[in-house]
């Protein structure tokens, strides 16, 4: 047996057999060679600081540590099957990180009992971490590919292993295009995540949200945590609806402002995004809080719009791995887009609080219903829970109410500029019609055909709306999707599928009234969602769209600004919770015999 060198009291060279032991622990060669400078008082090493004792100890250590990487791999497998496979973890990112840091610290302490060199301890710790995470992720991969209850569903192999694959592919916020590729490659029922099925099927909207469905909203809706809200809550019983007709005259005033505002541009190009952002923000303020933000009149962009746009740009690509966004919101300092997110939340919260304090001033707005719910739940919920719910509802309604209308209006003005024959047809229809007559506007076929066609080709909510299957799963075309699986059906793809629409990519407003044969399956059309979860602002939004198109076409002729590249809208289109079309620049030339609001 090799004798331990005693040239210095606290350093000894490793016998050849120990070299072997340690290298099997995958240690870096430097740490494998020498245990150095152990302070006598540190460990039992010092207590047995005789050559025989040291030898005995080193053998014991070697035998013990030889198995540590195997134990670490096993721990990874156990953590997967015993812990992470069960329940939801998206809200626990900081806890998971903290738990692993504690585990690492305990392990480091244990290792330091046998090795006083910091580099040696960290080297071994790194080896064990690699072994642990290797075990964890290998176990996940094998399980998800071969043993998961969705393993018989086809789809991209890497998508079955991790959602990060999807996030990677849509990091430029083009999920709508990516989903279209997936449909073209894999067909109608596709496994797009470890526990996720995407349906490209006309029955999907009804299955996900139709009356009597058993689904619940998926974890995405926790993005406003700790807030909750009507839209973001996972409990569909909390869904609330209110009548919208009271808002019509107030929206008419805003459309009058819009027409005046456009008139001030004269022959200069109008940035449709900017103008429609002002208008839809004003509508949102009026409808939601009974508050006039006055943007269309003042032609000033509210900072809330900028925070909203930047916040949604952050949330968009992370929509399929919401735990990353939540982790960022919880751990990152409030700078950049994280700051925009917080400021957007605070804007919504502040306005809801001031609306709560000031009362409704005798005018119904959407907040009336939210506040009613807030007060009605005083005996059943804590104050904190009610405050968080009201705040989350405000965030939902601000985003849902302002950004959606804007997106489809951008689409409408692009189509009407590109295809002036449709603008002319609408002009003929609205000629002499009183814009205040909501019933008359709702009955105009080409006007509504234009709006429907724009909602089909530029759906403001392009993807998302994810659900979790209920206790009985979901049956689609004789395929049973098991319970507890995330299901989704991207509207953008559904609205352009050849099996549901003739000439799916063409703008043909007539398909909605005189050419019904061009619609093969109308179930595929659900821009406002359906059933128990349809949009609370649907009727009001449709009216606002009809009013804007009617009044502006009564007052103006529209066309692209010279030099505008028509492809910009499609090339720069982004899917960031709501649709963000690329820029559209138009010229609005006053009609010789204007009969809209501006002439009143």
Task: Note the residues at the interface with ligand HEM (CB under 6 A).
Answer: 230-231, 239, 284, 287-288, 396-397, 400-401, 404-405, 408, 460-461, 464-465, 527-529, 533, 535-537, 540-541
Residue 13 pairs in a beta bridge with 34
Q: What is the 3-state secondary structure (H, E, C) of 143-184?
A: HHHHHCCCCCCCCCHHHHHCCHHHHHHCCCCCHHHHHHHHHH
> What burial letters (b/e) apply to 561-588, b meaning 16+ CB within 10 Å?
beebeeeebeeebbbbbbbbbbbbbbbb
Task: Name the phi and psi angles at 397, rounded to 5.
Answer: -70, -35
363: tokens are 């005018």
Q: Give the nearest distance from C-beta 229 to ligand HEM in angstroms.
A: 8
Min CB(164)–ligand HEM separation in Å: 23
User: In the complex, what is the shortest distance from the CB of residue 247 to ligand HEM, in angstroms, rounded to a whole number?
Assistant: 9
First to last CA, the chain: 107
Q: How far is the CB of 348 from ligand HEM (least distance, A)?
A: 12
Q: How far is the CB of 122 from ligand HEM (least distance, A)?
A: 46
DSSP single-letter state for residue 565? -
CA dist 567 and 560 (Å) reads: 12
Minimum CB–partner distance for residue 491 and ligand HEM (Å) = 7
CA 410 to chain centre: 22
Cβ proximity to ligand HEM: between 124 and 355 the closer is 355
Beta carbon nearer to ligand HEM, 55 or 402 = 402
Cα–Cα dist 128/68, whole Å:
7
Q: What is the DSSP string of 419-465?
A: -HHHHHHHHHHHTT--TT-HHHHHT-HHHHHHHHHHHHHS-SS-S--
Helix (H) or strand (E) holding 217: strand 216-217
Nearest residue (CB) to ligand HEM, 46 versus 532: 532
116: DSSP letter: -
In the complex with ligand HEM, the residue whose CB is nearer, 321 or 579, is 579
Minimum CB distance to ligand HEM smaller for 415 or for 564: 415
| Phi, psi (deg, nearest 5) at residue 590 | -60, 140
- Residue 287 vs 547, nearer CB to ligand HEM: 287
Q: Which residue is nearest to ligand HEM (CB)?
A: 537
- Please, which residue, 284 or 371, has the CB nearer to ligand HEM? 284
CB atoms within 10 A of CB 72: 21
Nearest to 441 by CA among 234, 188, 248: 248
Residue 232 tokens, joined: 């973001």
Cα 406 to Cα 403: distance, rounded to the nearest angstrom: 5
Between 121 and 542, CB nearer to ligand HEM: 542
For residue 368, is the peptide bond before it cis, meaning its omega torsion is within 30 degrees of 0?
A: no
How far is Cα 434 from Cα 523, in angstroms, rounded to an integer?
Answer: 33
Is 489 marked within a binding site? no
Q: Do 547 and 252 touch, CB atoms closer than 8 A?
A: yes
Q: How far is the CB of 204 from ligand HEM (least distance, A)?
A: 13
- Please state, in angstroms and rounded to a whole number, the distance separating the CA atoms of residues 394 and 349: 6
29 closest CA partner among 95, 123, 108: 123
Quote the radius of gyration of the chain (alpha carbons, Å). 31
For ligand HEM, give the closer residue by CB, 135 or 319.
Answer: 319
Choose between 533 and 585: whose C-beta lies nearer to ligand HEM: 533
In angstroms, what is the minimal distance from the CB of 543 to ligand HEM? 10
Closest CB 319 distance from ligand HEM, rounded Å: 11
Nearest approach in angstroms of CB 91 to ligand HEM is 19
Residue 230, both tokens: 């009507």
Q: Known binding site: residues?
A: 535
Summarize the annotated binding site for heme as residue ranges: 535
């Amino acid at each position: 047996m090799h004798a331990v060198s005693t040239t210095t009291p606290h350093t000894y060279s490793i016998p050849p057999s120990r070299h072997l032991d340690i290298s099997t622990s995958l240690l870096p060669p430097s740490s494998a060679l020498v245990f150095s400078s152990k302070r006598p008082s540190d460990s039992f090493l010092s207590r047995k600081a005789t050559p025989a004792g040291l030898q005995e100890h080193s053998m014991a250590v070697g035998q013990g540590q030889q198995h540590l990487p195997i134990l670490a791999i096993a721990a990874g497998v156990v953590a997967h099957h015993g812990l992470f496979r069960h329940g939801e973890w998206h809200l626990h990112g900081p806890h998971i990180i903290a738990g692993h840091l504690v585990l690492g610290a305990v392990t480091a302490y244990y290792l330091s009992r046998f090795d006083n060199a910091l580099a040696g301890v960290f080297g071994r710790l790194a080896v064990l971490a690699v072994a642990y995470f290797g075990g964890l992720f290998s176990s996940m991969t094998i399980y998800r590919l071969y043993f998961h209850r969705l393993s018989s569903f086809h789809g991209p192999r890497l998508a079955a292993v991790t959602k990060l694959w999807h996030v990677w592919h849509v990091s430029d916020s083009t999920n709508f295009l990516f989903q279209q590729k997936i449909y073209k490659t894999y067909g109608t029922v596709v496994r797009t995540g470890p526990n996720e099925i995407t349906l490209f099927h006309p029955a999907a909207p009804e299955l996900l949200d139709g009356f009597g469905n058993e689904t619940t909203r998926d974890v995405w809706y926790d993005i406003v945590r700790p807030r909750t809200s009507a839209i973001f809550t996972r409990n569909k019983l909390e869904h609330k609806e209110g009548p919208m007709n009271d808002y019509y005259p107030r929206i008419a005033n805003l459309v009058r402002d819009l027409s005046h505002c456009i008139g001030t541009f004269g022959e200069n190009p109008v940035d449709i995004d900017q103008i429609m952002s002002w208008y839809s923000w004003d509508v949102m303020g009026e409808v939601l809080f009974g508050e006039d933000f006055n943007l269309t009149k003042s032609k000033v962009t509210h900072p809330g719009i900028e925070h909203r746009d930047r916040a949604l740009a952050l949330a968009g690509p992370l929509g399929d791995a919401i735990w990353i966004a939540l982790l960022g919101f919880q751990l990152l300092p409030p700078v950049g887009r994280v700051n925009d997110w917080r400021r957007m939340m605070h804007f919504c919260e502040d306005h809801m609080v001031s609306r709560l304090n000031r009362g409704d001033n005798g005018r119904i707005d959407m907040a009336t219903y939210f506040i009613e719910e807030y007060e009605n739940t005083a005996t059943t919920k804590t104050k904190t829970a009610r405050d968080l719910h009201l705040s989350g509802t405000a965030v939902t309604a601000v985003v849902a109410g302002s950004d959606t209308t804007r997106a489809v209006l951008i689409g409408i003005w692009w189509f009407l500029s590109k295809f002036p024959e449709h603008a002319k047809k609408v002009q003929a229809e609205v000629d002499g019609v009183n814009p205040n007559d909501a019933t008359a506007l709702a009955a105009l076929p080409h006007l509504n055909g234009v709006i429907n066609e724009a909602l089909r080709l530029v759906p403001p909510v392009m993807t998302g709306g994810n659900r979790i299957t209920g206790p009985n799963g979901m049956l689609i075309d004789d395929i049973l999707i098991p319970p507890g699986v995330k299901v989704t059906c991207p509207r953008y793809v559904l609205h352009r599928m050849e099996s549901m629409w003739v000439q799916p990519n063409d703008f043909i407003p007539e398909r909605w009234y005189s050419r019904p044969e061009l619609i093969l399956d109308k179930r595929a059309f659900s821009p406002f969602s359906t059933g128990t979860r349809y949009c609370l602002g649907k009727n009001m939004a449709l009216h606002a769209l009809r009013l804007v198109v009617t009044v502006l076409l009564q007052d103006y002729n529209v066309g692209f600004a010279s030099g505008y590249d028509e492809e910009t809208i499609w090339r720069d289109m982004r899917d960031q919770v709501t649709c963000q079309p690329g820029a559209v620049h138009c010229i609005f030339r006053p009609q010789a015999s204007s009969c809209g609001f501006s002439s009143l």
